[in-house]
């Protein structure tokens, strides 16, 4: 059985056999084999050894009786009074016959119960009186005295011989004991027979165990292993079945039948799930296609890089999903003003993207009809609410109309307050209390607030993807940190400020997952009207005023405000409007030597011919 179990264990290919039923049965049968051998030896071998010992005792008794018969007359009480016998008297009596000088025993010795060796035969043989022999002498005397046993025989199966201890006298004082060792050849034959019997028994037991093991393998192990292998294949996606055991109507058959039923049910369910996955994949492909179209449509309504370059705006736009609920745009109006808008639709995904498209449509149309920011938003709300009333969707928005002079008006409809950053680092929040857009067409709470932009000012627009940005601990980005950053970067370009804010936000967020669309736009007010601003009457010569006087007046105004790259750019544009190309070129060169290259200076460098 052990060999079969070993083959089964090797065929499984499993490294961990601690819980293997094959291993457990192997150990069980090995233990059973050892127990059987022990039981066989105890009940069969030990009994055979006892029989061999008894047979040796019988042989020894025969020899002992013959010795007693021949020697005892020499030690009769009357004989002992006439003559004290010695070895010389005993030897002739132990010869086989008068014609045959062979001895009944090959050697013997006479020893007293006081352990005195009185003689031994043959004389040249060395006789050693050991402690074991002394104990056997006393035992022979005690057996004679207590139970009347005339001799004591001790078999020595290892030497195939017996030791004879025969008390010859019974004087009560000093007794003589005849000691001899006689080889019994039948002991060797009996032991050989015993060994052959034990080997045959072991072989028979092993054959029986192997046969039983083979039956257990066929009846129990093989079906279980087949089910186990089929289960492994089932785990790998192969819906295998197990052959039903023949002529077997027990729990194993029930196990195999149950497994086959389960495998077929799983196969059917797998086919159903695969079909459903294929259907879902088809629907997902359609949805991806629709999302791609929605993404392209939404991208088309957002200002591209070329349009942003018209006002030198820097934009960071990161949708949470493929489509976004954030919207940013600008429109140049017929009166020379620029309208800027940033909006954020409630929710995410396609519904929010749909709202941004609605905002794009109505803003692009109505901004040319209404030059008041409050009236513009009021009309946008009336139009959009027709689609959103009772849906729960809405938009927050910030709209600002900036005139070439820097005068502006804005309307904030629940949107995170944009920031007005001056060149000196002053920050103003452009908040408001107007209603959000789209909840109801009856809403009339939309009012415009007037502000004044100065040269060097920046307008920073963003959605709640920035203000509600969280880190891994769930903390919001502190507004104070962003304000401190803006004060430090107030002299930089729109691109540099936008990059600094983005780095601050991402550094704060680290590995935390974004939860909303992220839109950030930084607009340099100087660049909104890079051409138009200096065409105003303020920059042209007054009646009777020389060009030199105009330049001097503008220079004094610029120096009084601040000495910054944007003002050098403004002055260079004034020179260009006055036709003083050389003065414009020298002003740009001076600014480039003193300040980092801004987008406005780079554009002017190309315009005045410093670079191509």
Among candidates 49, 38, 37, 28, which has minimal Cα distance to 204? 37
How far is Cα 507 from Cα 498, in angstroms, rounded to an integer?
14
- Considering only residues 31 and 609, tell me which one the structure prediction assigns the higher pLDDT: 31
Over residues 84-112, mean pLDDT: 81
Asked whether 352 and 345 are in contact (CB, 8 A), the reply is yes
How far is Cα 227 from Cα 233, in angstroms, rounded to an integer?
10
- Considering only residues 529 and 608, tell me which one the structure prediction assigns the higher pLDDT: 529
pLDDT per residue over 340-394, tens digit each? Answer: 999 999 988 888 888 888 898 899 889 999 989 999 999 999 999 988 888 889 9
Asked whether 600 and 312 are in contact (CB, 8 A), the reply is yes
The listed range with the strongest mean pLDDT (69-78, 275-284, 309-318, 524-533) is 275-284
- Considering only residues 205 and 563, tell me which one the structure prediction assigns the higher pLDDT: 205
Pair of tokens at residue 124: 């040249």
Pair of tokens at residue 509: 């967020």
Taking the mean position of all CA atoms in its chain, how far away is CA 572?
65
How far is Cα 213 from Cα 457, in angstroms, rounded to an integer?
95
Per-residue pLDDT band at 536 (split at 50, 70, 90)? very low
Among candidates 393, 301, 353, which has minimal Cα distance to 517? 353
pLDDT per residue over 416-460, tens digit each? Answer: 999 999 988 999 999 988 999 999 988 889 999 999 999 889 999
Q: Is the pLDDT of residue 533 over 70?
A: no
- Considering only residues 499 and 582, tell me which one the structure prediction assigns the higher pLDDT: 499
Q: Is the pLDDT of residue 1 over 50?
A: no
Per-residue pLDDT band at 500 (split at 50, 70, 90)? very high
Whole-model pTM: value is: 0.51
Asked whether 604 and 575 are in contact (CB, 8 A), the reply is no
Question: Beta strand pairing status for 419-421 and 407-413?
Answer: unpaired
Helix (H, G, I), strand (E, B) or coil at 458: strand
pLDDT of residue 241: 77
Per-residue pLDDT band at 90 (split at 50, 70, 90)? confident
Sign of CA dihedral 62, 65, 69, 72: positive
How far is Cα 491 from Cα 18, in angstroms, rounded to an integer?
74
pLDDT of residue 534: 40
DSSP state for residue 414 in the 8-state scheme:
B
Pair of tokens at residue 553: 């007046």
pLDDT of residue 541: 46
Among candidates 574, 380, 598, which has minimal Cα distance to 497? 598
pLDDT of residue 448: 95
Q: Is the pLDDT of residue 17 over 60?
A: no
- Considering only residues 465 and 158, tell me which one the structure prediction assigns the higher pLDDT: 465
Residue ranges of the alpha helices (H) in 217-338? 222-235, 251-301, 305-311
pLDDT per residue over 210-257, tens digit each? Answer: 787 778 777 777 777 777 777 788 777 777 777 776 666 677 777 777
Asked whether 401 and 409 are in contact (CB, 8 A), the reply is yes
In the block, residue with structure tokens 């062979």: 102
User: Which are the contacts of 536, defined by CB distance < 8 A and separation ≥ 6?
Assistant: 404, 405
How far is Cα 476 from Cα 351, in angstroms, rounded to an integer?
26
Report cis status (omega within 30 of 0) of the bond before 122.
yes
pLDDT of residue 191: 75
pLDDT of residue 484: 94
Q: Is the pLDDT of residue 12 over 50?
A: no
pLDDT per residue over 163-200, tens digit each? Answer: 889 888 776 667 888 898 888 877 777 777 777 877 78
Per-residue pLDDT band at 287 (split at 50, 70, 90)? confident
pLDDT of residue 399: 97
Q: What is the mean pLDDT of the chain?
A: 79
Q: Is 248 exposed, middle or buried (0-12, 13-18, 19+ CB in 10 A)?
A: middle
CA angle (242 as vertex; 209, 261 as ends), nearest 5:
130
């Amino acid at each position: 059985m052990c060999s079969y179990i070993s083959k089964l264990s090797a065929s499984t290919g499993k490294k961990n056999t601690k819980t293997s039923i094959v291993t457990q049965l192997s150990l069980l049968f090995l233990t059973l084999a050892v127990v059987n051998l022990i039981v066989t030896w105890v009940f069969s071998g030990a009994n055979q050894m006892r029989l061999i010992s008894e047979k040796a005792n019988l042989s020894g008794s025969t020899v002992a009786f013959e010795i007693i018969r021949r020697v005892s007359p020499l030690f009769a009480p009357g004989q002992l009074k006439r003559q004290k016998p010695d070895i010389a008297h005993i030897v002739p009596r132990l010869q086989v016959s008068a014609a045959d000088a062979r001895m009944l025993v090959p050697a013997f010795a006479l020893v007293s119960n006081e352990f005195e060796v009185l003689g031994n035969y043959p004389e040249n043989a060395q006789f050693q009186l050991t402690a074991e022999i002394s104990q056997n002498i006393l035992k022979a005397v005690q057996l004679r005295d207590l139970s009347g046993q005339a001799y004591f025989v001790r078999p020595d199966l290892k030497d195939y011989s017996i030791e004879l201890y025969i008390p010859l006298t019974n004087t009560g004082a000093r007794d003589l004991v005849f000691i001899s060792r006689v080889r019994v050849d039948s002991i060797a034959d009996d032991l050989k027979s015993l060994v052959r019997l034990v080997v045959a028994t072991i072989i028979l037991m092993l054959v029986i165990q192997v046969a039983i093991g083979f039956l257990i393998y066929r009846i129990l192990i093989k079906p279980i292993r087949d089910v186990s292998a089929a289960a492994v294949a089932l785990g790998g996606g192969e819906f295998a079945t197990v052959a039903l055991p023949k002529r077997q109507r027990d729990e194993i058959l029930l196990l195999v039948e149950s497994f086959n039923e389960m495998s077929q049910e799983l196969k059917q369910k797998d086919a159903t799930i695969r079909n459903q996955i294929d259907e879902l994949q088809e629907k997902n492909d359609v949805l991806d296609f629709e999302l791609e179209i929605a993404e392209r449509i939404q991208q088309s309504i957002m200002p591209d890089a070329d349009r942003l370059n018209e006002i030198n705006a820097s934009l960071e736009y990161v949708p949470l999903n493929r489509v976004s609920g954030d919207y940013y745009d600008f429109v140049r109006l017929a009166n020379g003003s620029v309208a800027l808008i940033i909006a954020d639709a409630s929710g995410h995904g396609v519904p929010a993207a749909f709202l941004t498209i609605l905002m794009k449509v109505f803003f692009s149309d109505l901004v040319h009809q209404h030059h008041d920011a409050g009236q513009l938003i009021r009309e946008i709300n009336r139009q959009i609410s027709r689609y959103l009333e009772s849906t729960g969707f809405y938009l927050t928005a910030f709209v600002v109309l900036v005139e070439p002079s820097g005068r502006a008006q804005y309307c904030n409809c629940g949107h995170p307050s944009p920031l007005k950053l001056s060149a000196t680092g002053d920050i103003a929040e452009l908040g408001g209390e107007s209603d959000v857009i789209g909840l109801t067409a009856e809403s009339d709470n939309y009012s415009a607030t007037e502000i004044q932009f100065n040269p060097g000012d920046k307008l920073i627009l963003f959605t709640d993807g920035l203000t509600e940005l969280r880190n891994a601990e769930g903390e919001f980005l502190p507004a104070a940190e962003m304000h401190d950053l803006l004060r430090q970067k107030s002299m930089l370009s729109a691109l540099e400020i936008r990059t600094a804010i983005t780095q601050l936000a991402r550094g704060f967020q680290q590995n935390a997952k974004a939860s909303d669309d992220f839109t950030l736009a930084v607009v340099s007010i100087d660049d909104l009207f890079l051409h138009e601003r200096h065409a105003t009457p303020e920059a042209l010569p007054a009646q009777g005023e020389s060009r030199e006087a105009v330049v001097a007046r503008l220079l004094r105004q610029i120096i009084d405000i601040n000495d910054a790259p944007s003002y050098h750019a403004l002055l260079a544009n004034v020179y260009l409007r006055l036709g003083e190309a050389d003065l414009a070129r020298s002003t740009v060169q001076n600014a480039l030597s003193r300040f980092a290259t801004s987008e406005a200076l780079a554009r002017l460098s190309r315009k005045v011919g410093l670079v191509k």
